[in-house]
Amino acid sequence: MCRGAGILSVGGMKERVEIRALGGFRVLAAGVDVTCPTTHAERLLRHLVRVGGTESLPAVTAALWPGTPPRTAQRRLRNVLVRLRDRYGAVVRRAGDDLVLDAPVDAFRLASAADAVASGGRRPGATELRACAALWRGDLLAGDDASGLEAARERMRQHYLTLLDRLADLAAAEARVLDEAYWLDRAYRTAPHDETRIVRIVARLAATGHIGRAREAFELGCDTSTELGVRIPPALAAAAAALTATTPLTATSALAPSARLAAAVPLACGGAVRPGLVTAHGLVAAPVG
């Protein structure tokens, strides 16, 4: 066993230990899962991840052993730190009266990149953003008891969405419409209550001639609205109207409109059929009036 910070001997080689906290909890060394069955050592690691990597000694002991006399809790903590070092190397260090998680954590890297994007200063490039977005495997410490984790999980989801939106904007700036739609789709599936992204996908794909893909995106928006138990958002219906207006479809067209697409058009037009739009029967309507 090596005594360097977060260094573990695997197969005779010294390997840097890293912690995965997105989509579950894992301790890795050289990509190998070395997570031990859960004891207070693993609970300590999880706790430090939850609080951002640093916490005072009294707060740690209060979290791990609530109601325990301070001296007893301190003794237990010392034993846990020894066990932790034996299992994973020096992944936790003491800094004054604080304990500090001293190993790379995927959630921390993702959050740092999102903060850099939000700051408006020197933002990470597309390569780093893609690498950080790829770290997302699900909610923070998925599978753990959600009590006390809701706020931290929501913050992490917002960090992830920040990266995806930035990647979509970078793709849009370079006119890479399909890449833009890809990142927006990932964001929409993460936060389906916000319809602005699916509306943007439909509009952008339709405007650039990707009619089939635009219709698939519209259908996704409809399916998601159904799953959420809400009506099709007016903005999505309007995007559908713009889609059919951009490329009028006939009943015999290879891209004949779905029933939902056809039904959305009158909704977007306030109930009146406009010129060139598809009716509920899949036919191009005659001009109104």
Residue 23 belongs to domain with CATH number: 1.10.10.10
* Average pLDDT of every residue of the chain: 83
Co-location of 140 and 177 in the same domain: yes
Closest CA to 183 of 141, 200, 194, 269: 200
Task: Tell me the C-alpha to C-alpha distance, in Å, between residue 262 and each of 220, 241, 259.
Answer: 15, 9, 5
Q: Residue 284: is its pLDDT beyond 60?
A: no
Co-location of 172 and 126 in the same domain: yes
Co-location of 111 and 89 in the same domain: no
Do the domain assignments include residue 261?
yes
For residue 36, give its domain range: 7-101
Residue pair 89/17 in contact (Cβ under 8 Å)? The answer is yes
Q: Residue 264: is its pLDDT beyond 80?
A: no
Co-location of 92 and 134 in the same domain: no
Q: Residue 91: is its pLDDT beyond 70?
A: yes
Q: State the Cα–Cα distance between residues 8 and 30, nearest whole angstrom.
A: 9
Q: Which of 21-25, 38-42, 92-96, 234-238 has the lowest average pLDDT? A: 234-238
Q: Within 13 Å of residue 162, how many CA atoms lie on the same side as its CB?
A: 20
The pLDDT, as a whole number, for residue 278 is: 31
Do the domain assignments include residue 137?
yes
Co-location of 51 and 71 in the same domain: yes
The pLDDT-based confidence of 247 (bands split at 50, 70, 90) is low
Co-location of 26 and 61 in the same domain: yes
Co-location of 197 and 279 in the same domain: yes
Q: Which of 17-21, 72-76, 84-88, 257-261 has the lowest average pLDDT? A: 257-261
Co-location of 37 and 48 in the same domain: yes
The pLDDT, as a whole number, for residue 239 is: 84
Q: Which of 40-44, 100-104, 261-265 has the lowest average pLDDT? A: 261-265
Q: Residue 262: is its pLDDT beyond 60?
A: no
Neighbours of 32 (CB within 10 A): 12
Last residue of a domain, one of 36, 68, 101: 101
Q: Residue 50: is its pLDDT beyond 80?
A: yes
Last residue of a domain, one of 156, 189, 222: 189
Q: Where are the beta strands (DSSP E) in 7-103?
A: 7-10, 13-20, 26-29, 32-33, 54-56, 92-95, 98-101
Residue pair 156/111 in contact (Cβ under 8 Å)? The answer is yes
Eight-state DSSP code of residue 93: E
Co-location of 210 and 265 in the same domain: yes
Do the domain assignments include residue 37?
yes
C-alpha 260 chain-centroid distance: 29
Number of structural domains (the chain) is: 3
Tell me the per-residue pLDDT of 144-157, one tens digit each, with 9 for 90 and over.
988 889 999 999 99
The pLDDT-based confidence of 123 (bands split at 50, 70, 90) is confident
Do the domain assignments include residue 89?
yes
Do the domain assignments include residue 91?
yes
Do the domain assignments include residue 2?
no
Co-location of 12 and 81 in the same domain: yes
Last residue of a domain, one of 189, 215, 239: 189
Do the domain assignments include residue 1?
no
Do the domain assignments include residue 181?
yes
Co-location of 220 and 251 in the same domain: yes
The pLDDT, as a whole number, for residue 279 is: 30
Co-location of 58 and 72 in the same domain: yes
